[in-house]
Amino acid sequence: MERRCYKLVPVLLALGLAFSVAKAQEPVRITLEQALEIALSESNTIKIADMTVEKSGYAKKGSYASLYPNVSLSGSYQRTLLKQVMVMDMGGQPMEIKVGRDNNISTAATASVPLVNAQLWESLKLSALDVEMAVEQARSSKVSMISQVKQAFYGVLLAKESLAVMTQVYENAQANYEKTLQRFQVGKASEVEKLRAQVTVMNAEPNVSSAENAVLLATWQLKAVMGMDLETDIEAIGDIKDYSNQLLAPYASEDDISNNSSLLQLDIQDRMLESTLRMQKRQYLPTLSASINYNYSAMGDEELRWFPSSVAAVSLNIPVFDGFQKHFNIKQSKINKDMLALQREDAERQIRIAIRNYNDRIALCVKNFTAANATVEIAQKSYEISEKMYEVGKATLVELNDAQLALQQAQLTQAQAVYNFLVARASLDELIGKE
């Protein structure tokens, strides 16, 4: 935790400095690694998970208090307002005698400790399993947070790539409109072509605005997942194409579920039920405890006289009959354990199906990316040829627009394939419990 905080210091300083100096200046540029560091430090989800682990640790330490002697001190003072009167027959004559003293003071110290208590010892093991469960839940929150930040970061990169494509389309449409206008002015293009080129520019402009808004929304989502102030201006560094080499590298299918957090938590629950079952069975065993008491008391009217007393005791408790309550509790625990085993079997089956699904999706993304690469190259050449042919009057504006539309779709398909691969890989890493 300390090492992670040290790594995070430069990032937080940069964010704080940039935000405090001028909000209108350039946004703070962050990489995926920096986004993960900030999320793991600033996200409320991670903070709550860490607090849960800390709370469980205190609960475990508190459970060990039952093994230590329980010492208590007590004291009391009584002032007699009206003494009790006893009547005795003395030689045939009644005699009244007042009983008691005006002042009564008592102090005591008591210590007790369990000597033999199998149920208590087993409950301490159960407390240790509670801590282990909290730690695994915290790890699960961390793994989930990493996946969410990655997917949000990739979403920003995809939105930026879409904006770049739409901007390029808009710029090409403007350039084509200027060329068409020049040709129209010299009589080489009809008014219909000029109007069509103008409409193409007007249609491309809203797409740029929508793409800019998509980048803004994706950035807000990233900041929300990271636990940052939404007013902080940030910019995700990178390009979705920078990750394309991962699709071209050899890929080995993932099928190891030993670190899956859901299964690990079910395993811990099974051990907790097993410990609970042993604890319930040990309720049939006798318990032995020891205690010692020291009392110091005084009573009197004007002058007090103090008298000490002390008692040591050993207590043996042997359970005999409780209306079969322990028996039925044990039956319930056994059924709960069998139910949990069936739940784990179903969970493992579903997880393996999900892993197979993600592996198939990753393989499909690789195929789509390979096909998209070839399509982009062909579409780019087709657009360049159409553009040159249009300049010399051997192609119509419709053909040029069709070529540009094909190039736009190919570029977006290529970026979408990379994004789908990255999201599927992040989801698969979360499923197998990879940090």
- Domain residue limits, the chain: 2-69+116-284+322-432
Task: Determine the Cα–Cα distance for residues 236 and 149; give it in Å rounded to an integer.
Answer: 12
Report the amino acid identity of residue 319: P
Q: Say which CATH architecture domain 2-69+116-284+322-432 belongs to.
A: Up-down Bundle (1.20)
Residues 6 or more apart whose CB falls under 8 angstroms from that of 29 comprise: 234, 235, 237
Task: Determine the Cα–Cα distance for residues 308 and 297; give it in Å rounded to an integer.
Answer: 6
Task: Determine the Cα–Cα distance for residues 263 and 337; give it in Å rounded to an integer.
Answer: 15
Q: What is the pLDDT of residue 25?
A: 61
Task: Determine the Cα–Cα distance for residues 261 and 274; give it in Å rounded to an integer.
Answer: 20
Give the three-class secondary structure for 2.
helix
Give the residue from 402, 399, 396, 401 showing the smallest Cα distance to 190.
396
Question: Which residue is listed with tokens 């508190």?
Answer: 62
Q: What is the pLDDT of residue 97?
A: 80
Tens-digit pLDDT profile for the chain (435 aa)? 444 444 444 444 444 444 444 344 678 899 999 999 999 888 888 888 889 989 888 888 888 888 888 999 999 999 888 888 887 877 777 887 877 788 899 999 999 999 988 888 888 888 889 999 999 999 999 999 999 999 999 999 999 999 999 999 999 999 888 988 888 888 888 888 889 888 989 999 999 999 999 999 999 999 999 988 888 899 999 999 899 888 877 777 778 899 999 999 999 999 999 999 999 999 999 999 999 999 999 988 878 888 899 999 999 999 998 889 999 999 999 999 999 999 999 999 999 999 999 999 999 999 999 999 999 999 999 989 988 888 887 888 888 888 989 999 999 999 999 999 999 999 999 999 987
Q: What is the pLDDT of residue 333?
A: 94
Question: Which residue is listed with tokens 């989801």?
Answer: 427
Give the three-class secondary structure for 41.
helix
Inter-residue long-range contacts of 357-360, CB under 8 Å, 24+ positions, other chains counted: 358/254, 358/424, 358/425, 358/427, 358/428, 358/431, 359/253, 359/254, 359/255, 359/428
Q: What is the pLDDT of residue 22?
A: 39
Task: Determine the Cα–Cα distance for residues 113 and 314; give it in Å rounded to an integer.
Answer: 10
* Spacing of C-alpha 112 from chain mean position: 43
Give the residue from 219, 226, 234, 218 showing the smallest Cα distance to 44.
226
Give the residue from 149, 148, 140 showing the smallest Cα distance to 435.
140
Q: At what angle do helices 32-42 and 118-185 cross, to 10 degrees?
A: 140
Residues 6 or more apart whose CB falls under 8 angstroms from that of 108 comprise: 73, 74, 75, 293, 294, 295, 296
The string of DSSP letters for 277-323 reads HHHHHGGGS-EEEEEEEEEEEEEESSS-EEEEEEEEEEEEE----ST
CB distance 407 to 372 below 8 Å: no
Question: Which residue is listed with tokens 């790594």?
Answer: 7
CB distance 400 to 386 below 8 Å: yes
Give the residue from 266, 238, 272 showing the smallest Cα distance to 433.
266
Q: What is the pLDDT of residue 4?
A: 44
Global pTM value: 0.80
